[in-house]
A and B are shown apart, each in its own frame.
Chain A
Amino acid sequence: MLGLIYRVIKGPTTPDRVVALDALGVNLIAIVALVSMLIDSDAFLEVILLLGILAFIGTVSFSKFLEKGAIIERDRNR
């Protein structure tokens, strides 16, 4: 995880940072799962699902931003 943070800060191009951020979100899911096993509580398991969905939405919006420069397009007749 420290390596991924290094790549986020140092990364030569912007897609590098996006890749590292995506991997960071996914690793955060694993850490939440490990913590919820460590303290024997099943209250964190919703957080896993929610983090998965949020990481995916963040990835999609970042890649659309990189490709077109806009996240939500207003142009309907294409």
Chain B
Amino acid sequence: MTEIVNYIIGFFLLAGGFLSLVASFGVLRLPDVYTRNHAASKSATLGIMCILLGTFLYFYIVHGIFNSKVLLAIVFIFVTAPVGGHLIARAAYHSGAKLWDKSVRDDLKDKEKYDRQHP
């Protein structure tokens, strides 16, 4: 029983560490702000949730401590990380960051014209 639980906890921790590593490479290698933001937000949700779930299971099963704060932190990160990523991307667009020159679609570019036509 304990061995199986140890393997599950180890799997969660390794998956979280691997996702964080991939996201760090993405932030280093991708070409513009928006794709980097995509990589960073993905690590924020999935990798950190895996690591926190592993921590919660470790304290619950090995030590018998039901720690509700970690669960609350998981829920909080799951809610706020996409919101934060979206806010950063929007602020970056409005402050005039360039898109990558191979991007094919820019939906916010004719938003002003659309707003003027449909008041």
Partner of B69, one of A4, A29, A49: A49
Inter-chain contact A3/B27, CB cutoff 8 Å: yes
* A62 and B91 alpha carbons, distance in the complex (Å): 9
- Cβ of A60 within 8 Å of any chain B Cβ, yes or no, is yes
**Chain A 54-66 interface 0/1 with B at a Cβ cutoff of 8 Å (1 = within):** 0110011011101
Inter-chain contact A13/B33, CB cutoff 8 Å: yes
A-B pair number, CB within 8 angstroms: 134
Partner of B77, one of A6, A26, A37, A60: A26
Inter-chain contact A45/B91, CB cutoff 8 Å: no
| Residues of A contacting B37 in the complex (Cβ-Cβ under 8 angstroms) | 15, 19
Inter-chain contact A45/B27, CB cutoff 8 Å: no
Inter-chain contact B33/A16, CB cutoff 8 Å: yes
